[in-house]
Amino acid sequence: MNIITYGTFDTFHYGHLDLLSRAKSLGEKLVVGVSTDQFNTIKGKTCYFNFEKRVSWINQLKCVDVVLPENSWEQKKEDIKKYKIDMLVMGDDWRDKFDYLPCDVYYLNRTDLISSTEIRNILKKEV
Amino acid sequence: MNIITYGTFDTFHYGHLDLLSRAKSLGEKLVVGVSTDQFNTIKGKTCYFNFEKRVSWINQLKCVDVVLPENSWEQKKEDIKKYKIDMLVMGDDWRDKFDYLPCDVYYLNRTDLISSTEIRNILKKEV
The ipTM, to two decimals, is 0.83
Report CB contact under 8 Å: A123, B11.
Answer: yes
Give me the pLDDT at residue B124, please.
Answer: 58
Reported as a pLDDT band with limits 50, 70 and 90, residue B50 is: very high
Whether A52 contacts chain B with CB within 8 A: no
Reported as a pLDDT band with limits 50, 70 and 90, residue A119 is: low
Angstroms from A126 CA to nearest CA on chain B: 8
Neighbours of B45 (CB within 10 A): 13
- What radius of gyration do chain A's Cα atoms show? 14
Whether B44 contacts chain A with CB within 8 A: no
Cα–Cα distance, B50 to B9 (Å, whole number): 10
Check if the beta carbon of residue A1 is closer than 8 Å to that of residue A87: yes
For the stretch A3-51, pLDDT in tens is 999 999 988 888 889 899 999 999 999 999 999 999 999 999 888 899 9
For range B30-39, the mean pLDDT? 97
Helix pair angle (A14-25, A116-125), 10° resolution? 130
Whether A47 contacts chain B with CB within 8 A: no
Among A13, A17, A60, the residue with its CB nearest the CB of B62 is: A60
For the stretch A71-88, pLDDT in tens is 999 999 999 999 999 999
Sequence spans of domains, chain B: 2-125
Answer yes or no: B29 catalytic: no
Q: What is the mean pLDDT of chain A?
A: 88
For range B40-67, the mean pLDDT? 94
Number of H helices, E strands in chain A: 5, 5
Work out the percent of chain A whose per-residue pLDDT is above 70: 86
Give me the pLDDT at residue B126, please.
Answer: 45
Give me the pLDDT at residue B7, please.
Answer: 94
Cα–Cα distance, B80 to B102 (Å, whole number): 8
| pTM metric for this prediction | 0.86
The fold of the B2-125 domain, in CATH, is Rossmann fold (3.40.50)
Answer yes or no: A43 catalytic: yes
Whether A61 contacts chain B with CB within 8 A: yes
Cα–Cα distance, B53 to B63 (Å, whole number): 18
Cα–Cα distance, B103 to A83 (Å, whole number): 47
Reported as a pLDDT band with limits 50, 70 and 90, residue B59 is: very high
Q: Cβ contacts (< 8 Å) between A125 and chain B: which residues?
A: 48
Top-confidence residue, B14 or B27: B27
The residue length of chain B stands at 127
Residue of B45, B77, B81, B97 marked active site = B45
Beta bridge partners of B124: none
Cα–Cα distance, B65 to B21 (Å, whole number): 12
Reported as a pLDDT band with limits 50, 70 and 90, residue B110 is: low
Q: Cβ contacts (< 8 Å) between A17 and chain B: which residues?
A: 12, 57, 60
* CA distances, A103 to each of A29, A43, A78, A83 (Å): 15, 24, 12, 12
